[in-house]
Amino acid sequence: MSTPVSTFPHPYRAFTAFLSASFAAGPPPRRQFLPAEFRETLLAGAGERLPLLDAPVLAWALAERIHDADYLRRWRAGEVTRAEERALGFPWSPAVVERGLASSGATLAAVQDALALGLGINLGGGTHHAYHAHAEGFSFLNDVAISAQWLLDEGRAARIAIVDLDVHQGNGTASIFAAEPRVFTLSVHGANNYPFQKEVGDLDVALPDGAGDAAYLAALQDSVFPALHAFAPDFVFYLAGADVLEGDQLGRLALTPAGVRERDDRVFRWAALRGIPLVLVMAGGYNKNPQTLIAARLGTLDAALEAMGQRV
Ligand SMILES: [Zn+2]
């Protein structure tokens, strides 16, 4: 898709692997995922807010900066065991590999937007359970880790904060950057949610089942923002998981839609008011009610655009 002439009152846009051929090619979606007809509703709503661009495919060489070369070679060739497929949550197919590359390419494209405009968006991404040499939890490639490494390697950022507010701990990300002082891995998650063996990140806040808005927002205020102030990042990745919402099939924290919107507002404002480039990736969302999930996703986009509007 060529870049459309924007008719929007702002310069921002979103990349998405949902538009790529690999999405139509399967594999069949998991029952927890947004059904295809609702994906169209989400894309239509997002398209009313900003231009949507097809995800560029990531070069394998960039994936190799984070992932084990033999791991990538085996997945590329389909030399994957049943146990590995079970850990991922999908059977292997060429489309699984292509989707991983498209989603990671979308995040890297969003990085370029963030550097140029202050905000970059992948309407997907956030596959934070992918480790250096194994896939799990619907995550084959760790898109945010690949992009963070690119920023460091190219000298485009020196202190990167990964603000992971998906309801599941970003275990792959924490493991990958455990010995990297230039990347601050921060996760607020459900104590009783997958992964049951959590990694140690730079800041981990584990909340009890049914925590709700007040406890969640207090954790942001008391732990997350003080840690961000102290680290003083020059680039932020935000994993805006909607699986913190009440009614999520895989999450246990039970935030209200208003609570999720408040969470998003605070994160975007924190970065926007300081002029720190931010990449938004959507991460998880498996609500029983597709309309609830779509409203939350669109609310996240609105929060991002509003915060950027307040900056100028
Ligand atoms: Zn999640």
Report the pLDDT value the prediction gives residue 32, as an integer from 0 to 100: 78
Instruction: Name the pLDDT band for 31 (thresholds 50, 70, 90).
Output: confident
What average pLDDT does the segment 151-175 reach?
A: 98
Instruction: Name the pLDDT band for 306 (thresholds 50, 70, 90).
Output: very high
Instruction: Name the pLDDT band for 186 (thresholds 50, 70, 90).
Output: very high
pLDDT of 25 strictly over 70: no
Residue 4 CA to ligand 1 center (angstroms) comes to: 32
Cα distance between residue 205 and residue 239, in whole Å: 15
Torsion angle defined by CA atoms of residues 64, 66, 70 and 74, in that order, rounded to the nearest 10 degrees: -90
Helix, strand and coil content of the chain, in percent to the nearest 5, comes to 45, 15, 40
Residue 44 CA to ligand 1 center (angstroms) comes to: 23
Report the pLDDT value the prediction gives residue 24, as an integer from 0 to 100: 67
- Say what percent of the chain tops pLDDT 70: 95
> Among 67, 129, 134, 189, which one carries the catalytic annotation?
129
Q: Which residues contact 86 (CB under 8 A, 6 or more apart)?
A: none
Ranges assigned E (strand) in 158-289: 160-164, 183-190, 203-207, 235-239, 278-281
Report the pLDDT value the prediction gives residue 19, as an integer from 0 to 100: 82
pLDDT of 22 strictly over 80: no
Omega before residue 277 within 30° of 0, cis: no
Reply yes or no on whether 189 is catalytic.
no
Q: 173 with 162: CB under 8 angstroms? A: yes
Residue 293 CA to ligand 1 center (angstroms) comes to: 13
Report the pLDDT value the prediction gives residue 26, as an integer from 0 to 100: 64
Could you report how far apart the first and last alpha carbons of the chain are, in Å?
A: 30
pLDDT of 62 strictly over 80: yes
Identity of the amino acid at 75: W
Cα distance between residue 195 and residue 129, in whole Å: 8
pLDDT of 155 strictly over 70: yes
Cα distance between residue 79 and residue 226, in whole Å: 45
Q: For all residues of the chain together, what is the average pLDDT?
A: 94
Identity of the amino acid at 302: D
Cα distance between residue 295 and residue 301, in whole Å: 10
Cα dist from 208 to 143, 155, 212, 300, whole Å = 28, 39, 9, 24
Instruction: Name the pLDDT band for 207 (thresholds 50, 70, 90).
Output: very high
pLDDT of 252 strictly over 70: yes
Residue 286 CA to ligand 1 center (angstroms) comes to: 8
Instruction: Name the pLDDT band for 229 (thresholds 50, 70, 90).
Output: very high
Q: Which residues contact 161 (CB under 8 A, 6 or more apart)?
A: 183, 184, 186, 228, 231, 233, 235, 236, 237
Report the pLDDT value the prediction gives residue 310, as an integer from 0 to 100: 81
Q: Is 213 helix (H, G, I), strand (E, B) or coil?
A: helix
Query: What is the biggest distance separating any 2 CA atoms in the chain, rounded to whole angstroms?
Result: 52
Cα dist from 136 to 15, 90, 142, 207, 250, whole Å = 24, 9, 10, 22, 15
Kind of pairing between the strands at 235-239 and 278-281: parallel
Domains detected in the chain:
14-311 (3.40.800.20)
pLDDT of 2 strictly over 70: no
What average pLDDT does the segment 300-311 reach?
A: 93
Residue 193 CA to ligand 1 center (angstroms) comes to: 9
Ranges assigned E (strand) in the chain: 14-16, 52-54, 119-122, 160-164, 183-190, 203-207, 235-239, 278-281
Report the pLDDT value the prediction gives residue 28, as an integer from 0 to 100: 63
pLDDT of 311 strictly over 80: no
Instruction: Name the pLDDT band for 33 (thresholds 50, 70, 90).
Output: confident
Report the pLDDT value the prediction gives residue 115, as an integer from 0 to 100: 98
Neighbours of ion ligand 1 (CB under 5 A): 166, 168, 241, 243, 284
* pLDDT tens digits along 110-151: 999 999 999 999 999 999 999 999 999 999 999 999 999 999
